[in-house]
A and B are shown apart, each in its own frame.
Chain A
Amino acid sequence: MDRREPRQAAAGPSRRRFMVYTVAATTLTVAAPLGCDPSRADGATPPSDVLVTGTDEEMLVLEVTAANEVVVRLPRVEVGQGITTAVAMMIAEELDARLADVRIPLADARSKGNQYTGGSSSVSSLYGPARQLAATARARLVTAAARRWRLPAHVLRTRNTEVVAPDGRTATFGSLTASAARIRVPDVSSKPKPASRHRVIGKPTTRIDARDIVTGAAKYAGDLAVKGAKPTVVARPPTLRGRLVSLDDTAARALPGVHAVVKLPGGVAVVAETFHHAFQARDALRITWADGPLVPLSDRQIRSRLRAAVPRLAAPPHGSTQIEGEFAFAFVSHAPMEVLTAVADVRADRAELWFATQTPMDARETLAGLLGLPKTAVRVHVLRGGGSFGRRLTFDAAIEAALVSKAAHRPVKLMWSRGDDIRHGRMRPADHHRIRASVAGGRVVAFRHMSASVAESSDEKGLTARSAAVRPLPSDSGLYDFGRVGGDSGGIELPVPLGAWRSVDSGTMRTAEEIVVDDIARALGRDPVAFRRTTLRSRTVKAVLAKAAAAGHWGRTMPAGTAQGVAVHEEYGSAVACLAEIDATDPKNPRVTKVVMAADVGTAVNPRGLEAQLMGTAVDGISTVLRAGLHIDRGAVREGSFADFHYARQRHAPLVFEAHIIPSGGEPGGAGELGVPAAAGAVANAYVRATGRKPRSFPLDF
């Protein structure tokens, strides 16, 4: 691939917002820089005509192969959110390619650009560049066909990965790619279609990898057959961040199939012929552990310290009456179904790793530093992940795999056990909230939300410690017309592994607020939906609430012990409402029987994928409010598997689930995390209305 200087570099950044480069190659390859402003996606700035060779390092790269495949190496990770399908749809739309001809492999870690998957930002960050990229490729393919057939380009059409002439002649994109690669100035527009002409975007579409998944062909890190990579597991201390005092590995090494025993900062790794041999040898290690730094503490102390760290509420407005609530949320495991797994092959002068990661560029840099290698000598292959929910923002297993491979002088496939994942994995921080609404004259005149959360202390950091936890921000969303809105946050630091969990602070902050909104409505004798309708500021939020309430038959007569509940949320440029119905005739064992959600996320690229994301957040809401959390007992996590970390099973999931997508032509907002607070709030509010109880500590079954 040769490199040339950008011909239009002098035009300056303002003209280059959506510039698409041509990468010199024997097949048509174009690239679009990421990180540009997606609000300009509709072609306000015309794309540059031609150009430039570039490296693909910082770009979204599209290639049309001679075999008539359209390949886009995606700088994001697929962890179940459906991003590969959404991007394939954007590409198929603008190229007029068959979806089945579009391939979206995940790009290896790069050294420049935006390769971060998180913050529900993938669709919104890719929507402009991906469509521009494909529209540019289409213009060149059409031009190449026009020259081949000696026809004016504007009479040609594209469909099904082919260019079609008025007389019916066709040419596949693959047959045109070599000549298209030489086109410098296309004869037709490179502008993406107006939304009114979208046939793929907005159409409910099945995942492009659905067949691979249902046949068992989809490969995750642990399924890879990297030559010589031996199964590896790690013995870890009984308490969080316990330290190794002594190790006797004689018995373990004497077992059949054991290749190596390697000390790590967080434990002792065993490399063996199979995972069966590795687990057996792990259990045969004789290790003395020193207690971890958290041993003096259990949940009760942590909770009381959190409560004490919540900033005090100032005096309420004179003459108002107060509606107050205090809420505690437990630690929660991410617990993706695929436990952390990484394959590493570390040599003296280079390293190659395979794992699912939301932050491959950080991972590559960190691994290079740890291994004492230049970044260019470290290759990180990004694999699909079996779930994430924020867990793969950090790359704990990859670090361990790299260290073990280096020490054992052999490739390894290192896997955390489920026990490791729950006992030593990262957690959504526990937090505590004190909320006060001040009411006067039948209105809320002030709304204060004080909170305190656990932060990961900076001392005692092992190699795996990279805290992604952020302190909650006071609620200043102004979602409701509640007069003076504000708050503050405090926190305590503990040496526990924490990590951002789907919807991050909103998962607890906004859930607690939605419970208080119901409390206010109750105190004022108002219906929860009617009260929200009159106090919500945003028309979009009001509209999703109205949709959920109508579709879910809000206010229908329900038998004793059962009830409906609602909640709303607005974030990532999107809005959502949730209506949940609960059967709490046995208050100790409530069942959410029905969930109706309505969302406005701007342009919904794949409504079927969006529905799936909302469904997932509904089950997250049910789990975190009713069932799933972690206890800390004297410095250790009490739970150790899905037997005691009670994430919802089928018998806890709603029998009926509906998602209503509000039609919108706006820019796509975020959707992956959006539904969590609304679902959690609706479940809690339904529980209150069904039982008359006022739950203040979550999950309820603690």
Chain B
Amino acid sequence: MRSYSFVLNGRPVTVEAPADMPLLWVLRDLLGVTGPKYGCGVGVCRACTSHLDGAEIQPCTVPVADCADRAVTTIEGLADGDTLHPVQQAWLDGDVAQCGFCQPGQIMAAAALLARTPHPTDADIDAIENVCRCGTYPRIREAIKKAAKNGS
């Protein structure tokens, strides 16, 4: 077993793990960071969506070895202290969540979208693949538009 160092939510961490261990289980089972959720393990439901060097990833399909010396951000690291990220604030204002389980991933996907496309179209939002089994999609769409407006 090798050790891997990366920056997690702004802090350096080092873990001992098999090279092929998915980042999701490194986060959840070794580091106790439980915001990213398991929903399928194959990158389809995207409940675990997080950021690697600012870009969207599904940690259930990214081996820890690929994260070495890079920056991982999970939902826990998105806010600036007590100040929510504009996407989180829009989610809160719009009361988007129902069961809440997919929402960390939804928020991280939306934040990544807005980082690369500050003014997304409906088609851009339609391209988000994250599953919400409660069906909060219309509120997600509204929250993304609101965050885009507030972020500009």
Q: Is the CB of B141 within 8 A of A650?
A: yes
- In Å, the complex CA distance between A540 and B102 comes to 36
Q: Which of A215, A338, A620, A656 contacts B37 (CB 8 A)?
A: A338
- Shortest beta-carbon distance, A560 to chain B, in Å? 22
Q: Is the CB of A210 within 8 A of B92?
A: yes
Q: Tell which of A78-86, A423-431, A468-476 binds the partner.
A: A78-86
Measured CA separation A249–B39 after assembly (Å): 27
Contacting pair A337 B95 (CB below 8 A): no
CB distance from B58 to the nearest CB of A (A): 12
Whether A216 contacts B75 in the complex (CB less than 8 A), given A387-B134, A616-B135, A650-B137, comes out as yes
Residue of B nearest to A341 (CB): B38
Known contacts A620-B135, A650-B141; is-contact A418 B101 (Cβ 8 Å): no
**Residue B76 CB within 8 A of the other chain:** yes
Chain B 37-62 interface residues, beta-carbon cutoff 8 Å to A: 37-42, 44-45, 47
Q: Does B132 interact with chain A (Cβ within 8 Å)?
A: yes
**A-side interface residues, number (CB < 8 Å):** 64
Candidates B47, B92, B131; contact of A214 at CB < 8 Å:
B92
B97 & A213 in contact (Cβ 8 Å cutoff): yes
Indicate if the CB atoms of B44 and A643 lie closer than 8 Å.
yes
Which of B74, B95, B122, B140 meets A608, CB within 8 Å? B95
Nearest B-chain residue to A617, judged by Cβ = B135
Check A67 for interface membership: any CB of B closer than 8 A: no
Is there contact, CB below 8 Å, between B29 and A231? yes
Q: Would you call A216 and B74 a contact (CB within 8 A)?
A: yes
Q: Is B13 an interface residue (CB 8 A)?
A: no
CA distance A650 to B144 in the complex (A): 12
Query: In the bound complex, what is the Cα–Cα distance between A219 and B97 (angstroms)?
Result: 14
Closest Cβ of chain B to A103, distance in Å, is 17
| B7 touches A (CB below 8 Å) | no
> Shortest beta-carbon distance, B2 to chain A, in Å?
13
A339 contacts B by Cβ under 8 Å: yes
Contact B100 A213 (CB under 8 A): yes
A211 within 8 Å of B by Cβ?
yes
Q: Is the CB of B135 within 8 A of A619?
A: yes
A256 to B17, CA, bound (A): 11
CB distance from B35 to the nearest CB of A (A): 3
Closest to B32 in A: A225
In angstroms, Cα B134 to Cα A617, docked, is: 8
Within A642-662, which residues are at the interface with B (CB < 8 Å)?
642-643, 647-651, 653-657
Q: Is the CB of B99 within 8 A of A386?
A: yes
CB–CB A642/B103 < 8 A:
no
Q: Is B66 an interface residue (CB 8 A)?
A: no
Given A274-B25, A337-B99, A650-B126, A215 and B42 contact (CB-CB distance below 8 Å): no
Q: Please, which residues of chain A bring their CB within 8 A of the CB of B40?
A: 418, 641-642
Q: Is B79's CB within 8 Å of the partner chain A?
A: yes
The CA-CA distance from A222 to B33 in the complex, in Å, is 11
Beta-carbon contact of A220 and B101 below 8 Å: yes
Chain B residue contacts of A406, Cβ below 8 A? none
Q: How far is the CB of B8 from chain A (nearest CB, A)?
A: 13
Residues of B within 8 A of A218 (CB): 100
A selection of 17 A-B contacts at a CB cut-off of 8 Å is A82-B98, A206-B92, A216-B75, A216-B76, A216-B104, A276-B25, A338-B37, A417-B41, A615-B135, A620-B135, A623-B135, A643-B44, A647-B131, A648-B137, A649-B128, A651-B127, A653-B135
**Assembled-state Cα–Cα distance A387/B97 (Å):** 11
Q: Using a CB–CB distance below 8 Å, which chain A residues touch chain B?
A: 79-82, 206-207, 209-220, 222-223, 225, 231, 256, 273-276, 279, 335-339, 384-389, 415, 417-418, 608, 612, 615-620, 623, 641-643, 647-651, 653-657
Contact between chains at A80 and B100 (CB < 8 Å) = yes
The reply to whether the CB of B129 lies closer than 8 angstroms to some CB of chain A is: yes
Instruction: List the A side residues contacting B115 at CB < 8 Å.
Output: none
Q: A213-B97, A616-B135, A619-B135 are in contact. Are A418 and B30 (CB under 8 A)?
A: no
Q: In the docked arrangement, what's the CA distance between A338 and B95, Å?
A: 20
The reply on B84 being an interface residue by CB < 8 A is yes
Please, how many angstroms separate the alpha-carbon atoms of A337 and B134 in the complex?
8
* B107 on interface, CB distance cutoff 8 Å: yes
Cβ–Cβ contact A215 & B79, under 8 A: yes
Determine if B149 is an interface residue (Cβ-Cβ < 8 Å): no
B28 on the A face (CB < 8 A):
yes
Instruction: Please name all residues of chain B whose beta carbon is closer than 8 Å to the beta carbon of A616 when the two chains form the complex.
Output: 98, 134-136
Tell me, in angstroms, the Cα distance from A210 to B100 when the chains sit together. Answer: 8
Is B67 among interface residues, defined by CB-CB distance under 8 A? no
Contact A210 B95 (CB under 8 A): yes
Please measure, in the bound complex, the distance between the C-alpha atom of A335 and the C-alpha atom of B22, giving whole angstroms: 23
**Residue among A210, A386, A641, A657 making CB contact with B101, cutoff 8 Å:** A386
17 further A-B pairs in the complex, CB-CB below 8 A; given A209-B97, A336-B133, A338-B99: A80-B134, A214-B75, A214-B103, A215-B75, A218-B100, A220-B101, A275-B28, A276-B25, A337-B102, A338-B39, A384-B100, A389-B133, A616-B135, A642-B131, A650-B137, A650-B140, A651-B127
Q: In whole Å, how far is B49's beta carbon from the nearest beta carbon of chain A?
A: 12
Complex CA–CA separation, A366 to B74 (angstroms): 39
Q: How far is the CB of B59 from chain A (nearest CB, A)?
A: 11
Report if B10 contacts A (CB, 8 A).
Answer: no
Residues in A neighbouring B38, C-beta threshold 8 A: 222, 275, 339, 415
